[in-house]
């Protein structure tokens, strides 16, 4: 199995985490929603991959599928592979998965208030995973928990460790979430909109903290966000999602200086730039289609200024511009005549 991956991956490095053709479907009363439709991306050690897209584009569904956190029913991972150091996480039983989740791969959730346990002190919440995964005794874990609180920049960690989430501010709670996620020194950190609920000055603090910890610990980060500014500031690679699919993938350089997919172009142009003076903002025409009733072919075709006949019939395959940069759009495929 190991050999197989080596053959397909670019020769320079073997990926730490690779998602291949992942499909997660939700079976709802009104029909099947393809929350994540043949999504592929990879992230290497010490690297930050940003997954961007608007709400409902499937960014979080993909991440939840990686950790086996999709509620079933209605959701189910129906295809694809999630390879962590060459092993397919989707083949693991729940016991094996527990060894990975929160230990080797951990996650920071968007809402720090609802994802922390309200009736447990923050110190114990950090210590819990250390006891569970790393075999610490309760006492040792508590000492370590306080160290973690100090590391994420919480003043007076000894006192704070004994407090409950409601006693902390939003920024503090997000720091606690980061401390929990990093306690076991994971190799991959999935951060789902870690700063969206926070103010800009606190956002700058948290992003700075994540960057510093990444440099210290060498972990890979998958950063899920809708904010192109956050992407510009933190990402090495970027996956752009639309209606459950990755429509463009490339390095930050590719995505910002050489965007190819019409959706990405539209997204980039509708972002407000504080240093630009524009009378009227650029608008992508139309709106995101109903996930229960996606258009045939390319999901973006009804809103696309360049749409051709084929776009409405066949899903566009990837067109490669370099070995790091591709977009799924018929504009860049020579083979669309047939």
Partner 1 sequence: MKTDNPPVRSPILSVRDLKVHFPVKQGVFKKTVGHVKAVDGVGFDLYPGQTLGLVGESGCGKTTVARALVRLVRARSGSVRLNGDDLLALSGKALRERRRHIQMIFQDPFSSLDPRMTVGQIIGEAVAFHRPDADVQALVLTYMEMTGLRPEVYNRYPHEFSGGQRQRIGIARALATEPGVVIADEPVSALDVSVQAKVLNLMKQLQKDLGIAYLFITHDLSVVKHVSDRIAVMYLGSVVEVFDAGKIRSGTVHPYTRALISSIPAQMPGTPTEKIQLQGEIPSPLHAPSGCKFRTRCPYASGRCRNERPGLGPGTGPDHWVACHHWKIICEKERE
Binding status of residue 58 toward partner 1 by CB under 8 A: no
Which of 83, 267 has the CB closer to partner 1? 267
# chain residues binding partner 1, by CB under 8 A: 46
Q: What whole-number distance in Å separates Cα of residue 243 and Cα of residue 291?
A: 7
Shortest Å distance, C-beta 180 to partner 1: 20
Rounded to whole angstroms, the Cα distance separating 206 from 125 reads 20
Work out whether 305 is an interface residue with partner 1 (CB under 8 A).
no
Determine which residue in the list 21, 253, 258, 309 makes contact with partner 1, applying CB under 8 A. 253
Residue-wise DSSP of 212-263: HHHHHH--EEEEEES-HHHHHHH-SEEEEEETTEEEEEEEHHHHHHS--SHH
Whether residue 181 is preceded by a cis peptide bond, meaning omega within 30 degrees of 0, is no
Burial class (CB in 10 A: 0-12, 13-18, 19+), 195: buried
Residue 275 beta carbon to partner 1: minimum distance, rounded to whole angstroms: 7
Q: By CB under 8 A, tell whether 252 contacts partner 1.
A: yes
Under the binding rule (CB under 8 A), the answer on residue 114 touching partner 1 is no
| Shortest Cβ 269–partner 1 spacing (Å) | 9
Task: Establish if 226 lies at the interface with partner 1 (CB under 8 A).
Answer: yes
Cβ 312 to partner 1 shortest distance, Å = 21
Q: In the set 23, 140, 163, 233, which binds partner 1 (CB under 8 A)? A: 233
CA 301 – CA 247 distance, rounded (Å): 12
Determine the Cα–Cα distance for residues 266 and 272; give it in Å rounded to an integer: 12
Structure tokens at 196: 């969206």
If one asks whether residue 212 binds partner 1 (CB under 8 A), the answer comes out as: no
Q: Which residue, 132 or 197, has its beta carbon nearer to partner 1?
A: 197
Cis peptide preceding 52, ω within 30 of 0? no
Q: Identify which of residues 55 and 114 has a Cβ nearer to partner 1 in the complex.
A: 55
Q: What angle do CA 135, 138, 140 make, to 5 degrees?
A: 75
Of the pair 141, 228, the CB lying nearest partner 1 is at 228
Among 10, 31, 162, 208, binds partner 1 (CB under 8 A): 208
Closer residue to partner 1 (CB): 28 or 99: 28
- Residues 276-295 within binding reach of partner 1 (CB under 8 A): 277-278, 280-284, 287-288
Cite the DSSP H helix spans in the chain. Answer: 2-8, 59-66, 94-100, 112-115, 122-134, 138-151, 157-160, 170-182, 200-217, 228-234, 252-257, 262-270
CA–CA separation, 96 vs 315, rounded Å? 36
Work out whether 271 is an interface residue with partner 1 (CB under 8 A): yes
Positions that interact with partner 1 (CB under 8 A): 54-55, 155, 169-172, 199-205, 207-208, 226-233, 235, 252-253, 256-257, 266-267, 270-275, 277-278, 280-284, 287-288
């Amino acid at each position: 199995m190991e050999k197989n991956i080596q053959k397909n991956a670019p020769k320079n490095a073997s990926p730490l985490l690779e998602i291949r053709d992942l499909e997660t479907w939700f079976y709802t009363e009104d029909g099947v929603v393809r929350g994540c439709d043949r999504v592929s991306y990879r992230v290497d050690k010490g690297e930050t991959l940003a997954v961007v897209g608007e709400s409902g584009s499937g960014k979080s569904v993909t991440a939840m599928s990686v950790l086996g956190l999709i509620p079933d029913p209605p959701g189910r991972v129906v295809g694809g592979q999630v390879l962590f150091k060459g092993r397919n996480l989707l083949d693991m039983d729940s016991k094996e998965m527990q060894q990975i989740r929160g230990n080797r791969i951990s996650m920071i959730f968007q809402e720090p208030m609802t994802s922390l346990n309200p009736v447990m002190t923050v110190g114990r919440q950090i210590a819990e995973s250390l006891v569970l995964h790393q075999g610490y005794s309760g006492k040792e874990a508590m000492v370590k928990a306080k160290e973690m609180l100090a590391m994420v920049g919480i003043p007076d960690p000894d006192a704070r460790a004994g407090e409950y989430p409601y006693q902390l501010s939003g920024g503090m709670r997000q720091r606690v979430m980061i401390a929990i996620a990093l306690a076991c020194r994971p190799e991959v950190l999935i951060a789902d909109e870690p700063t969206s609920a926070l103010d800009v000055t606190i956002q700058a603090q948290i992003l700075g903290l994540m960057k510093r910890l990444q440099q210290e610990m060498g972990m890979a980060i998958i950063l899920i966000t809708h904010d192109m500014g956050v992407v510009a500031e933190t990402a090495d690679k970027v996956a752009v999602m639309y209606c459950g699919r990755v429509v463009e993938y490339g390095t930050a350089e590719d995505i910002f200086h050489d965007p190819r997919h019409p959706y990405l172009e539209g997204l980039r142009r509708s972002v407000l730039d504080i240093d630009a003076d524009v009378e009227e903002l650029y608008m992508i025409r139309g709106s995101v289609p109903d996930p229960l009733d996606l258009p045939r072919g390319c999901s973006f075709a009804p809103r696309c200024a360049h749409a051709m006949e084929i776009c409405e019939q066949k899903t566009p395959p990837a067109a490669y511009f370099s070995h790091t940069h591709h977009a799924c759009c018929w504009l860049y495929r020579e083979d669309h005549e047939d």
